[in-house]
Amino acid sequence: MKEIWGKMVYETIEEIADPAHTALLVIDIQNDHGAHGYLAKNGRDVGWVIEMLPRVKKVLAEARRRDMLIIFHSVTISRDHRAESPAQIRFLNRSPHIMGASNYEVEDTWGHQVLDELERRPEEPWIVKYRSSAFHGTRLDLILRNSKIETAVVMGLVTEGCVEATVRDVLGYGYYPVVLSDCVGSSRQDLHEAALLVMGVRYDVVTSDQLLRAWDTGPRS
């Protein structure tokens, strides 16, 4: 730690991502995005999601072993479309597979729920969100603050979209953001790489192996 402007600031990834004050945010890894969900059934390539799942599961398993706070999120479209403003509809309209679907990411459907393979436990919060950031219009900040969390490790979908939007708000709400570069993904490799480039300049971006080593060697692990 280092004192800056009269405040103690974490410097190393071991300090920043200490399990004692770190939560794991799993962004939008939902059934609709898996091997048996809407995208795959409608001819979309989900190989990029499937490829990263073993690493996601490994991090989840270690976080659970350490009794860390794990919070799942699902990007959501409301059934009656009352949650979607005209501006949001215009935004969604840029993705034809969303606007052309009857049940894709729609609340209260199987496809909207956390991916079955991740085996979310009853005690692990699940936040339904209607915008890109996991903070916008949700109880996430209340949960983190009341759990004495200082750092949020972020993984999930998609890198240049909901992941990046959430990471920006992690910092904006006063938490240290950590992005797992090999546990985030996008169907557009160019946008994935561009988003990681930008986030790598602004935030702490590490691999899942680097995080797990930090958890093993950290000050209070």
| Full residue range of the structural domain in which residue 52 is found | 2-217
Write out pLDDT tens, residues 13-38.
999 999 999 999 999 999 999 999 99
Q: Which residue matches tokens 């680097």?
A: 210
Looking at residue 100, its pLDDT comes to 73
Measured at the CA of 188, the angle between CA 179 and CA 28, to 5 degrees, comes to 50
Mean pLDDT to the nearest integer, 150-177:
98
Burial class (CB within 10 angstroms; exposed 0-12, middle 13-18, buried 19+) of 17: buried
Looking at residue 220, its pLDDT comes to 52
Neighbours of 217 (CB within 10 A): 11
Residue 35 to residues 18, 93, 105, 122, Cα–Cα distance (Å): 33, 24, 15, 23
pLDDT for 60 beyond 50: yes
**CATH code of 183's domain:** 3.40.50.850
Residue 134 contacts residue 96 (beta carbons within 8 Å) = no
The DSSP secondary-structure symbol of 191 reads H
How are beta strands 2-4 and 22-27 bridged, if at all? unpaired
Mean pLDDT to the nearest integer, 40-64:
96
Query: What SS3 class is residue 40?
Result: helix
Taking all residues of the chain, what is their mean pLDDT, rounded to a whole number? Answer: 96
Measured at the CA of 32, the angle between CA 31 and CA 33, to 5 degrees, comes to 90
Per the structure, the count of domains in the chain is: 1
Write out pLDDT tens, residues 91-127.
999 887 787 777 899 999 999 999 999 999 999 999 9
Write out pLDDT tens, residues 189-213.
999 999 999 999 999 999 999 999 9
Alpha-carbon distance of 167 to 174, in angstroms, equals 11
Return the structure tokens found at 6. Answer: 């009269």
